[in-house]
Amino acid sequence: MKVMNLVEQITQFELKTIQFDGVTQSYREAGQGKALVLLHGISSGSASWVKQLQDLAQHFHLIAWDAPGYGQSDVLATDQPNATDYAKRLKGMLDALNVKDVILVGHSLGALQAAAFNALYPERVAALVLANVAQGYKGCDEQKQKDVFEKRPKMLKELGAIGMAQSRGPHLVAHATASVLALIEVVMQKITLDGFTNASYLLAYDSIQTYLKEQQANTHVVMGMADGITPVKDIQTLAETYKLTKCYQIEDAGHLSYLDQAEKFNQILLSL
């Protein structure tokens, strides 16, 4: 029997859309049971969670969204968003899907969005997982923020989605197999310039520290020990500052830890 590659596997999970509050939101889902909601990072999309959709469907009702401006999701109404704008869109989607309590997993910039959702709607979050956290640059000097804001949209304009994927893809994982790189390329082709620009603004001008409290009991932190994008030492400092003691290290995992070392990542989610 032929083993499907990751691009073929994602075709098992159709991209769905739902309308609410005058907007269209896209997502993929699988399984039944406790809701496990998956928020991707700045250069990604719902399809990147294929190994969770496939391997955890016997345990959870998985919902992987496309952030506003990604996939077929409408862009946010503001071009200067903070994380609460994403959190409110997420709440609208969950309400429309009639999903109440969730295990909320945010990866990279998705961790910032997830932290904001937990701060706004703590009664909805049974567990918060912050993986390979992109902390944001709020409080940095103006030039640094400007550079962060402009970097990725400029790259997309200059290289195109495929060129950006070919340039950035190998740096996102420790195991850059042909199947993984092909999936990254497919995912990045669904990024729109408007969505990418908004997400870049969020990264540049907001920060996860705005939304965290010390000793958040429901909060779990995941680190990829080979992550060159969001370094382990920075995430460890964040966890120590906010006394977030439920920390997990995934050896030999790059930035896309949930794709790079899916089995180990999934075991963490099953242990919550």
Going residue by residue through the chain, which has 272 residues, state the pLDDT in tens, using 9 for 90 and above. Answer: 556 899 999 999 999 999 999 999 999 999 999 999 999 999 999 999 999 999 999 999 999 999 999 999 999 999 999 999 999 999 999 999 999 999 999 999 999 999 999 999 999 999 999 999 999 999 999 999 999 999 999 999 999 999 999 999 999 999 999 999 999 999 999 999 999 999 999 999 999 999 999 999 899 999 999 999 999 999 999 999 999 999 999 999 999 999 999 999 999 999 99
Q: Is residue 205 part of a domain?
A: yes
Q: Is residue 46 part of a domain?
A: yes
Report how far apart the first and last C-alpha atoms of the chain are (Å, whole number). 34
Q: Is residue 1 part of a domain?
A: no
Q: How far apart are CA 26 and CA 65, in angstroms?
A: 6
Say what the pTM is.
0.98
**Six-digit token pair at 113?**
């969005």
Q: Is residue 141 part of a domain?
A: yes
Q: Is residue 170 part of a domain?
A: yes
Q: Provide the domain limits for residue 158.
A: 6-271
Q: Is residue 91 part of a domain?
A: yes
- Decide: 203 and 108 in contact? Cβ < 8 Å: no
Helix (H, G, I), strand (E, B) or coil at 63: strand
- Under DSSP, the state recorded for 78 is -
Q: How far apart are CA 31 and CA 39, in angstroms?
A: 17
Q: Is residue 72 part of a domain?
A: yes
What CATH number is given to the structural domain containing 74?
A: 3.40.50.1820
- Decide: 169 and 45 in contact? Cβ < 8 Å: no
Domain count, the chain: 1
CA proximity to 70, closest of 101, 39, 95, 100: 39
CA dihedral 23, 104, 134, 86 (to 10 degrees): 20
- Decide: 218 and 245 in contact? Cβ < 8 Å: no
Q: Is residue 168 part of a domain?
A: yes
